[in-house]
């Protein structure tokens, strides 16, 4: 059965309107030309570089690239791709100094299906997890070298991570009650802080970085 052209055009128009509305209120955090609005902390090697409008953490670089501003409640969206076995992270509500995974929170970026990680990482160290605290669902990463879309929402005690359109983590930090975990991760109680990319010496690239405050 042939589908009338008018129905196809209407469907495409509705999809475009939905996509436009879905981006309403978002502000770009990366102009594709510079790291204006960001500061490199504890950097090493070449830090982060910009190539063809893409923010690159190269093999010989890394460190914490932090927003100059602090954010409390927000939706943070970006695209990323990694080399095979690539490792990075997104720090949220973190102070300028210290290890984001503990003094703030780190949302893991990891090509966790790579052979070198099999049987060597805990469930809460897989991609999208609140590092070392809350595990994310697995199996939704695209193959290394392909672009992924990710959204991190922080709203009060609720943290939600959406990868390629699939919610892989939706947690309430108030459910974390183990004394040992809370002592090790005081950043779980922070209500605001910087957002940052946390380079660990492997090739990971980012683009289309934007935020909407809640």
pLDDT tens profile 17-69:
444 568 999 999 999 999 999 999 999 899 999 999 999 999 999 999 999 99
Indicate whether 8 belongs to any domain: no
Indicate whether 96 belongs to any domain: yes
pTM of the full predicted structure? 0.89
CATH code for position 195: 2.60.120.560
Structural domain for 130, as ranges: 26-213
Indicate whether 200 belongs to any domain: yes
pLDDT exceeds cutoff 60 at 168: yes
Number of domains in the chain: 1
Indicate whether 131 belongs to any domain: yes
Mean pLDDT rounded to a whole number for the chain:
93
2 band by pLDDT with thresholds 50, 70 and 90: low
Instruction: Using a pLDDT cut of 70, give the percent of the chain over it.
Output: 90
Could you tell me if 168 and 174 are in contact, meaning their C-beta atoms sit under 8 angstroms apart? no
16 band by pLDDT with thresholds 50, 70 and 90: very low
pLDDT tens profile 150-161:
999 999 999 999
Indicate whether 40 belongs to any domain: yes
pLDDT exceeds cutoff 80 at 14: no
How would you list the strands of the sheet with 38-41, edge to edge?
38-41, 63-67, 194-199, 87-94, 105-110
135 band by pLDDT with thresholds 50, 70 and 90: very high
CA 72/CA 18 separation, integer angstroms: 27
Q: If you ran DSSP here, which 8-state letter would residue 124 be given?
A: G
pLDDT exceeds cutoff 90 at 139: yes
Q: What is the pLDDT of residue 15?
A: 41
Indicate whether 5 belongs to any domain: no
């Amino acid at each position: 059965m042939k589908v009338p052209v008018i129905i196809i055009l209407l469907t495409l128009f509705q999809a475009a309107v939905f996509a436009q509305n879905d981006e309403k209120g978002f502000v770009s955090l990366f102009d594709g030309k510079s790291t204006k609005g960001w500061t490199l902390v504890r950097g090493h090697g070449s830090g982060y570089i910009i190539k063809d409008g893409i923010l690159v953490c190269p093999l010989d670089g890394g460190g914490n690239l932090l927003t100059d501003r602090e954010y409390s409640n927000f939706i943070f969206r970006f695209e990323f791709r990694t080399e095979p076995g690539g490792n990075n992270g997104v720090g949220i509500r973190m102070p300028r100094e210290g290890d984001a995974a503990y003094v703030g929170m780190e949302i893991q970026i990891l090509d966790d299906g790579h052979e070198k990680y099999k049987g060597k990482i805990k469930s809460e160290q897989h991609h999208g997890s609140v590092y070392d605290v809350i595990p994310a669902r697995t199996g939704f990463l695209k193959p290394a070298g392909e672009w992924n879309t990710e959204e991190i929402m922080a709203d009060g005690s609720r943290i939600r991570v959406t990868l390629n359109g699939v919610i892989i983590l939706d947690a309430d930090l108030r459910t974390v009650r183990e004394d040992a975990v809370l002592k090790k991760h005081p950043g779980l109680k922070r209500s605001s802080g910087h957002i940052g990319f946390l380079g660990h010496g492997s090739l990971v690239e980012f683009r289309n970085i934007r935020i909407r405050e809640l």
